[in-house]
Structure 1
């Protein structure tokens, strides 16, 4: 029996389409459209014995049985938790993280920023230009979003923990805010910081919060905000074909 080149796991639309992109490149690919790992997944692995396995962005619920991953040549993942770290170590695998592949990060950030704009228009939130926007975090998604909003006429300030990111934002002409809320005017917050750092009842208060980070988002546990929206996985939601292309190409680059 010929072993399939790839097993791609995940219900996100981009993963099914990424499988199709890889097939066009001549690979044999199985797409397992679930976000759980259970006995069925173990059976699929043992029956098909794929050469490479791609996990979804967030680790699947559950973990493989002992010995299931041992024949896999490469394990690709977005992020892994303690259970998956242990499973990888027991099988002697070192995961390759596509969320750390530099080109993928930037291309995905561009799609995220455009998906954010599409969401705003879909919600009927009004125009971008002439309004005060605060970008929390100045990594790839934060930078791309800040630049896109400014190009559309927005007044953009940046809130960053890193002195290097603060310096970068200043060098690009963005305003700078502090986490204590000093200098803050009423504005719209776009969060890209992947941690629960924000207490909306603190001096740092904004009229709207759009959270582009992954769940559980930026609000501290127990905190609520009337106009808070968590918006994960925007590339897969709005641009599944393009998101699938950049994912499949990143996997191929990392496989070399």
Structure 2
């Protein structure tokens, strides 16, 4: 029996389309459009023995039975939790993390920033130019979003967690804040969060007029906190630009496979 070249797992629209992109390159590809790993997935692995397995950006719910991951040669993932790290270690399959592939990170950041703007306009938020914005976090998504907003005429301040991020934002000409220093003087601005932690309590001195959260679930609000206009917007590339996001993902997988 010929082994399929790829098994791609995940319900995000970019994964099904990434499978199509890989098929066009001549690969045989299976796609399991679920975000969990269970007995059905174990059976698929044991029967098909795919050469490569691609996991969703976030680890799927559940984990493989002992001996199942041994059936694949290569494992690709966005990020792994403790259970999946243990499973891959037991199988002797060092995961190749596409969220650490530099070109993919920047291309995905660009799609995320554009996706945020599309969502902002659709939400009735108004125009970007001339308004005051705070971008929290100055990683790839934060940098790309801040630069895009400024290019459109926005007044952008960066709220950074580390001295190096603060220095870089300052060097690029952005106003700067730090998490501990935010206060009522920043109220009324629009906040775009890219920090993947629950750091914000809007009932405190810092209460933005709107919060658009581009981080992963559970978002930036502290447990129990609420805001009258808070929108959590994870996985924007796959939701808004599935074709382009799929091309970016499939190309990253091929680069990492070489």
With the shorter chain as reference, the TM-score category is over 0.9
In 2, distance between residues paired with 1:130 and 1:177?
Answer: 19
Normalising by structure 1, report the TM-score.
0.98
**Corresponding pairs, count:** 256
Structure 2 counterpart of 1:203: 205
Q: CA shift at 1:62, angstroms?
A: 0.6
Kept in 2, the 8 Å contact 1:6–1:29? The answer is yes
In 2, distance between residues paired with 1:72 and 1:57?
Answer: 19
Q: CA shift at 1:86, angstroms?
A: 1.2
Gaps of 5+ in 2: none
Q: CA shift at 1:226, angstroms?
A: 1.1
Q: CA shift at 1:228, angstroms?
A: 0.7
Give 1:23-62 correspondences, 5 Å limit: 23-62=23-62
Q: CA shift at 1:30, angstroms?
A: 0.5
Structure 2 counterpart of 1:244: 246
- Asked whether 1:131 is paired with 2:98, we answer no
Kept in 1, the 8 Å contact 2:198–2:222? The answer is yes
Structure 1 counterpart of 2:111: 111
In 2, distance between residues paired with 1:178 and 1:111?
Answer: 26
Normalising by structure 2, report the TM-score.
0.97
Q: Which runs of 4+ in 1 moved over 6 A?
A: none
Q: CA shift at 1:121, angstroms?
A: 1.0
Structure 2 counterpart of 1:83: 83
Q: Which moved more, 1:132-141 or 1:178-187?
A: 178-187
- Asked whether 1:224 is paired with 2:226, we answer yes
Structure 2 counterpart of 1:145: 145
Kept in 2, the 8 Å contact 1:177–1:184? The answer is no
Q: CA shift at 1:234, angstroms?
A: 0.3
Structure 1 counterpart of 2:182: 181
In 2, distance between residues paired with 1:240 and 1:13?
Answer: 6
- Post-superposition Cα deviations, 1:1-56, rounded to whole Å, max 9, x if no partner, equal 00001000001000000000011111111011111111110010011000000000
Kept in 2, the 8 Å contact 1:181–1:205? The answer is no
In 2, distance between residues paired with 1:178 and 1:80?
Answer: 29
Q: Which moved more, 1:174-183 or 1:56-65?
A: 174-183
Kept in 2, the 8 Å contact 1:112–1:141? The answer is yes
In 2, distance between residues paired with 1:56 and 1:121?
Answer: 29
Structure 2 counterpart of 1:169: 169
RMSD across aligned positions (CA): 0.9
